[in-house]
């Protein structure tokens, strides 16, 4: 379970400030796969980073009783001067995982070829996403945090990514950020909508999608 208590997040910008979260209170229950919806610039990735502990809220606290992944698909989660293999080894050691198994799984899954042994700064955004996804899927988390990763790669890779992700979240929890409502419907059972600093949780993913569509003016 993840609990957001009185969370506010405010950025100072030229000519004023940007409010991502305005005294947000929400509970993401254990076992739910939650699609996080919101318009471009609403702050979905920032919200995911706060839940992961990579960004601090301006005020409030976030509580969890399980082990969270770092956000899959977030380019900054990989060290740019380390190779893909070195990044995988580093993460395996942090989480106490079998390093040989980590390398085997990520090398096979991410399909990076010789780039697996090249610095991540030489990767395209899609390659970084595949590396991040492979590392996370090699580990056992209570909640997987995902930022649009399954859009990376060709159709066969997306199909493979969806299959393994559905297998993982079928046994665990997830918070999934995507602009694709078809992806949200396929993967998520519940939803949350971030709009103008307010976050609303919906136990039924269809209710969340309907509210998001209303926010976007979709008939």
Q: Is 103 among the domain residues?
A: no
Q: Is 32 among the domain residues?
A: yes
Task: Tell me how many domains the chain contains.
Answer: 1
Pairing of strands 173-177, 33-37: parallel
Q: Is 219 among the domain residues?
A: yes
Structure tokens at 78: 């990989």
CA distance 212 to 115: 39
Q: Is 24 among the domain residues?
A: yes
Q: Is 76 among the domain residues?
A: no
CA distance 73 to 132: 6
CA distance 72 to 74: 6
| 205 alpha-carbon distance from chain centroid | 17
Q: In this predicted structure, what is the pLDDT of residue 43?
A: 92
Q: In this predicted structure, what is the pLDDT of residue 130?
A: 86
Q: Is 180 among the domain residues?
A: yes
Q: Is 183 among the domain residues?
A: yes
Structure tokens at 81: 């001067």
CA distances to 14, 73, 119 from 178, rounded to whole Å, are 28, 11, 28
Q: What is the 3-state secondary structure (H, E, C) of the chain?
A: CEEEEEEEEEEEECCEEEEEEEEEEEEECCCCEEEEECCCCCCHHHHHHHHHCCCCCCEEEEEECCCECCCECCHHHCCCCCEHHHHHHHHHHHCCCCHHHHHHHHHHHHCCHHHHHCEHHHCCHHHHHHHHHHHHHCCCCCEEEEECHHHCCCHHHHHHHHHHHHHHHCCCEEEEECCCHHHHHHHCCEEEEEECCEEEEECCHHHHHHHHHHHHCCC
CATH number of the domain residue 149 falls in: 3.40.50.300
CA distance 40 to 48: 14
Q: In this predicted structure, what is the pLDDT of residue 197?
A: 95
Tens of each residue's pLDDT in the chain, 219 residues = 899 999 999 998 887 889 999 999 999 998 899 999 999 989 998 999 999 888 999 999 999 988 888 777 555 567 899 999 999 999 899 889 999 999 999 999 999 999 999 999 999 888 888 888 889 889 888 999 988 755 555 678 878 887 888 888 777 899 999 888 888 998 899 999 999 999 999 999 999 999 999 999 886
Q: In this predicted structure, what is the pLDDT of residue 180?
A: 84
Tell if the pTM clears 0.85, that is, is over it.
no
Pairing of strands 190-195, 198-202: antiparallel
Q: In this predicted structure, what is the pLDDT of residue 26?
A: 96
Domain that holds residue 183: 1-69+145-153+173-219
Q: Is 132 among the domain residues?
A: no
């Amino acid at each position: 379970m993840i609990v957001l208590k009185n969370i506010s997040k405010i950025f100072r910008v030229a000519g004023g400030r940007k409010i991502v979260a305005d005294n947000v209170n929400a509970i993401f229950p254990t076992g739910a796969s939650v699609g996080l919806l919101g318009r471009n610039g609403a702050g979905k990735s920032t919200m995911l980073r706060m839940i992961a502990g990579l960004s601090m809220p301006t005020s409030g606290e976030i509580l969890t009783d399980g082990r969270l992944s770092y956000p899959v698909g977030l380019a900054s989660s990989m060290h740019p001067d380390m190779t893909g293999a070195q990044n995988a080894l580093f993460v395996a050691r942090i989480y106490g995982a079998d390093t040989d198994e980590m390398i085997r799984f990520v090398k096979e899954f991410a399909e990076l070829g010789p780039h697996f042994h090249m610095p991540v700064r030489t990767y395209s955004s899609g390659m970084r996403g595949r590396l991040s996804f492979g590392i996370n899927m090699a580990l056992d988390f209570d909640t997987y945090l995902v930022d649009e990763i399954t859009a990376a790669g060709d159709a066969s890779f997306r199909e493979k990514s969806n299959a393994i992700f559905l297998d993982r979240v079928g046994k665990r929890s997830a918070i999934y950020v995507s602009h694709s409502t078809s992806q949200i419907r396929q993967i998520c059972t519940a939803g949350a909508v971030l709009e103008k600093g307010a976050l609303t949780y919906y136990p039924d993913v269809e209710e969340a999608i309907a509210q998001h569509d209303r926010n976007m003016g979709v008939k």
